[in-house]
Structure 1
Amino acid sequence: MDWFTASEYWWSRLVFQRALAVLYLVAFLAAAVQFRALIGERGMLPVPRFVARLRFRQAPSLFQLHYSDRFFAACAWAGCAVSVALIAGADSLLPLWAGMVLWFVPWVLYLSIVNVGQTWYSFGWESLLLEVGFLAVFLGNDDVAPPVVVVFLLRWILFRVEFGAGLIKMRGDACWRKLTCLDHHHETQPMPGPLSWFFHHLPRPLHRVEVAANHVTQLAVPFLLFTPQPIATAAASLMIVTQLWLVLSGNFAWLNWITIVLAVSALRLPGDAPPVPGPPLWYEVLVLAVAVLLLDLSHRPVRNMLSRRQVMNRSFDPLHLVNTYGAFGTVSRLRHEVVIEGTHDAVPREDSEWREYEFKGKPGDPRRWPRQFAPYHLRLDWLMWFAALSPAYAGAWFSALVERLLENDRDTLRLLRRSPFPPDAPPRYVRARLFRYEYTSWRELRETGACWRRTYVREYLPPTRLAGVAQRS
């Protein structure tokens, strides 16, 4: 059936698949490196305790059937290995059905991780990777041309990502309608990047232009994805440029990168496709059945986008097949950071020698310039940003973090940039204080070399020892 395939997207599919495999690799690598301290058997939110409360159908996962740290590590590193094979094009060397199975493996493994990841895996880009990864299973390999229906379903995801984000902004914070959100966003975003300070100091009229251009890209351009070529390619290219601008201005894990990868699937890249036979009947039937299922499930995110009570980043089914997305419906005007300190003193006093723990990505030392980590995801650093917004966001894990710092827990300390205490001499007390952080001016940067200035706000956690981890204030 000639209508079933679109050979003109042969090279777009190739780039899309290899780039998606890279993002899978990043996701599995982060899971393998960070899981023991976060959700391991002795983690802050242990998987065994979590799965004991849930039925399999509520959160399908291999770890519902069996969990051990060794088994989780094996699954995460297996995901890395399969991702590397996909990057190298192993799926194209296999028969069609085997290539599909190879793409299915990382989807099952990452779904298993996300469904037991709890707060640490509650970000929208987790569901987005799973939704895109599921469609990638049915995109085919070198044995067939790309199926038209899958190409357009990928555009449907991209449409929901961009249009949903645009709607949540227009319905949310008034600063988006006033074009003033970027007066604050680069300073208060979860994890600034190395260029965020400079973006913040751009002229305010340029900030207005940035916001207006963002509205156009998210509210008008997505509709052009469903128009004939070359208009659809132009629309996708504009989205790629916008996302690259966001990549430069902050650290948003792989959110921007997977949006770029989705946009690549809509491009019509030059080059002729090699001749291939028509797709087998079983493949056509399977792809069309999956398309019908996904379109049927799409009514829930559509209803959410049309609702005045639109929510961001919600999964409507335990398999994360069709989800709703959005970001920054509200922009913070002030930046607060939780600074964690420890002391060796037997009796903690204000004049004790309090030593500060340094995190890898979140602001700490005012003189330390932010680094680029995205698309890698520093989960603890991101949750620390939420903890600074409100102690309620940290209720499930912050006390456990403090307890592990008091123990000098090796796996937890690996999540940090630096511990101020040697491995054999943990602190006797740990405390947390809340500071307001502001970018310095050009003059202050030249004079002090500091990109931040910080002001003490209040106590966040009183001095605490292992005998009893106190509650946050």
Structure 2
Amino acid sequence: MSVDWFVDPQYTFARSVLQSGTAAIYLVAFVAAARQFRPLIGSHGLTPIPAFLQHTSPRSAPSLFRLYYSDWFFAVVCWIGVVLAGALMVGAGDLVPLWAAMLMWLVLWLLYLSIVNVGQQWYSFGWESLLLETGFLVAFLGNDEVSPPILVIVAARWLLFRVEFGAGLIKLRGDPCWRDLTCLQYHHETQPMPGPLSWFFHHLPRPLHRVEVAGNHFAQLIVPFALFAPQPVASIAGGVIIVTQLWLVASGNFAWLNWLTMILAFSAISRGGAAPELPAPTWYVGVVLAFTAMVVVLSLWPVRNMLGRRQRMNASFNPLHLVNSYGAFGSITRRREELVIEGTHDRTITDHTVWREYEFKGKPGDVRRWPRQWAPYHLRLDWLMWFAAISASYARPWLATLLQRLLEGDESTCKLLRDNPFRDDPPNLVRVQIYRYRYSTWSELRRDKTWWQRTLIGPYVPAVGLSGATARPSSSPRASSPRSTPPESDADRSGRAAG
């Protein structure tokens, strides 16, 4: 069927990047799920899926695992996702008929939707919904049998607009430090998981921090409108977003949020001299029109959210995670507090008791360890430990079980950690201490070879053994387990996180 307005071959390159990039992120997401699900949400995990399924309805959280669940089946789903995502990443969608390519993308979306909808707080991050919405959208971009449909290209830009403009609005409406351009004096130090360059970003001159914030406002509040302008303005807008996202990638670890945003930005970039226009089958035109109509209707909720006074930062308005609202860091924490889990072989605590620390893979712990680059991989326990230090509500469903698993020496749980000081003999007691962390100064780094300086605040969870009894009550006023809720944070306001 020849419909002149329906396709535009100048976006063939954009389609290739959108599909290959999204498949690559899917691949990372499924690998992360396969490697971490057993100790987190498996049958004997910290928050088991079977228990979750018993207390939720299929309508609120549709998932293949409502038909059947076992750890073995979950692993099979993950590795099918890995294989399918890998195949699509290298172009398998162009080797099959158009309908088959679309089906491959939709199967991939369904598999990951099934994981997210049973993932509980471990999957309550804005980039999960962003991956699902993007993954569903790219299914309608077609393959080499047809030129890219312009309606789906515009839908990708609309998704990018909501990601960027939503994030800009929540900042403008949120913490005053975004308006006085001072937020980045704190953020590089207090962000959930610093990267290898975050220390250096923090120590940039304060005037440059102000430039960073002003540039962020420009990129998120002004540039998104140019995505819908004629070329080459739209391509320039896409390029600006890519550059600003690369800056964020360099400054911290935010899983695949920044990477997926960059991938979406290619929807605005056209290339002249593209291949000849390939007409679309009638059925495909109908499917794309139906998809477009769905996006238009479902956009009512995120538009109302962005225009409303009480904007929700990351929100899905339907259990399929389609056409969502996005945003990040509406408020910034000024102090970094970290939970440190310690264990000992002693059965009774004395002044001579030696406590040894468990080291996490990504979150700060050892003050001499230089932060690593993890994104786009997602360390889910490390992220929840950051939230737990902010508010006890994030820790209550799983922290006690985590401590029990460490006391038991559970192998799968210990694999989530970078270093287990009790590999051969589990501890008799464990406790959780809360520390105030700050970046070392240049002089402290040279003198002490430490990236962090820390000060003990007090107990978060007093010493406990397998019996569950506290070994010795702490006299600290902060010894309640866990501590009281702190001032409202970005995570507290939204209930969901995004970097």
Task: State if a TM-score over 0.5 links the two structures.
Answer: yes
Kindly provide the amino acid, as one letter, of the partner of residue 12 in structure 2: W
What residue is the counterpart of 1:427 in the other structure? 427
Give the structure-2-normalised TM-score: 0.93
Alignment of 1:364-403 (within 5 A): 364-403=365-404
Q: Which blocks of at least 5 consecutive residues in structure 2 are unaligned?
A: 471-480, 484-499
Unaligned runs of 5+ in 1: none
Moved more, 451-460 or 51-60: 51-60
CA distance in 1 between partners of 2:377 and 2:284 (Å): 35
Deviations for 1:374-408, whole angstroms, at most 9, x for unmatched residues? 00000000000001112221111111111111111
- What SS class does the counterpart of residue 57 from structure 1 fall into? coil
Q: Secondary structure at the match of 1:44?
A: coil
Distance, in Å, in 2 between the alignment partners of 1:304 and 1:222 is: 17
1:39 is displaced (CA, Å) by 0.2
RMSD after superposition? 1.0
1:141 to 130, 140, 143: 143
Separation in 1, partners of 2:464, 2:276: 66
Deviation at 1:269, TM superposition (A): 2.9
Q: Does the 8 Å CA contact 1:11/1:271 hold for their aligned counterparts?
A: no
Between 463-472 and 282-291, the greater mean CA deviation after superposition: 463-472
Counterpart pick for 1:79 among 78, 81, 90: 81
State how far apart, in whole Å, the 2-side matches of 1:350 and 1:282 are.
Answer: 77
Q: Is the 8 A contact 2:193 2:363 kept in 1?
A: yes
Alignment of structure 1 residues 178-217 onto 2, 5 Å: 178-217=180-219
Q: Which amino acid aligns with 1:177?
A: R
Contact 1:193 1:371 in 2 (8 A): yes
SS state at 1:107 partner:
helix
**1:64-463 → structure 2 map (5 Å cutoff):** 64-274=66-276, 276=278, 278-423=279-424, 425-463=425-463
Instruction: Check conservation: 1:91, 1:141, Cα contact below 8 A.
Output: yes
CA contact (8 A) 1:403 1:469 kept: no
Q: Which amino acid aligns with 1:199?
A: F
Amino acid at match of 2:381: L
Per-residue CA deviation, residues 323-343 of structure 1 (Å, 9 max, x unaligned), is 101000000000000000000
- CA separation of 1:389 and 1:180: change in aligned 2, threshold 3 A: same
SS of match in other structure, 2:433: strand
Letter of the 2:386 partner, please give it: W
Name the SS for the 1:58 alignment partner.
coil
Letter in 2 for 1:22: A
The amino acid that maps onto 2:417 is L
Superposed CA offset, 1:420-453 (max 9, x none): 0023x10000000000000011011111110100
Per-residue CA deviations over 1:30-56 (Å, capped at 9, x if unaligned) read 000000010000000100000111221
Describe the shift of the 1:154–1:353 C-alpha distance in structure 2 as closer, same or farther (beyond 3 A): same
Once residues 351 and 362 of structure 2 are traced to their aligned partners in structure 1, the CA distance between those partners, rounded to angstroms, is 27
1:63 to 43, 47, 65: 65
C-alpha distance in structure 1 between counterparts of 2:301 and 2:262, whole Å: 24
C-alpha separation in 2, matches of 1:343 and 1:381: 22
Question: What corresponds to 2:482 in structure 1?
Answer: 472
Equivalent position amino acid for 2:233 in 1: I
Q: CA deviation at 1:351?
A: 3.3
| 1:207-228 deviation per Cα after TM superposition (whole angstroms, max 9, x unaligned) | 0011001001100110000000
8 A Cα contact 1:343 1:428, kept in partner? yes
Question: Residues 257 and 331 from structure 1, CA distance in 2 versus in 1: closer, same or farther, beyond 3 angstroms?
Answer: same
Q: Equivalents in 1 of 2:464, 2:13: separation in Å?
A: 58
**AA aligned opposite 1:472:** P
Equivalent residue letter for 1:153: A
Using the alignment, how far apart are the partners of 2:262 and 2:21 within structure 1?
9
The whole-number CA distance in structure 1 between the counterparts of 2:341 and 2:261 is 35
Match for 1:124: what amino acid? G
Per the alignment, residue 475 of structure 2 pairs with none
For 1:274 and 1:82, the matched residues in 2 are separated by: 29
Q: Which residue of 1 aligns with 2:53?
A: 51
**Residue type of the partner of 2:404?**
E
Are the aligned partners of 1:399 and 1:469 in contact in 2 as well (CA < 8 Å)? no
Shift of 1:18: 0.7
**C-alpha offsets along residues 121-167 of structure 1, whole Å, 9 cap, x if unaligned?**
00000000000100111110000011111000000000000000000
How far is the alpha carbon of 1:270 from its aligned partner?
4.5
1:340 partner SS = strand
The offset of 1:348, in angstroms, is: 2.3
What's the % identity of the aligned pairs? 61
Cα deviation for residue 455 of structure 1 reads 0.1
Distance, in Å, in 1 between the alignment partners of 2:90 and 2:469 is 49
Q: Residue 349 and residue 304 in structure 1: after superposition, are their counterparts in 2 closer, same or farther (change >3 A)? A: farther
Task: Kindly indicate whether the alpha-carbon contact (under 8 Å) linking 2:194 and 2:252 is maintained by their aligned counterparts in 1.
Answer: yes
Instruction: Indicate the SS of the match to 1:3.
Output: coil
Q: Which runs of 4+ in 1 moved over 6 A?
A: none
Provide TM-score, normalisation by structure 1: 0.98
Task: Give yes or no for contact 2:26–2:85 (8 Å, CA) kept in 1.
Answer: yes
The one-letter amino acid paired with 1:39 is I
Shift of 1:350: 4.8
Bigger shift: 260-269 or 334-343? 260-269
* Contact 2:166 2:325 survives alignment (8 Å): yes
8 Å CA contact retained: 1:11, 1:273:
no
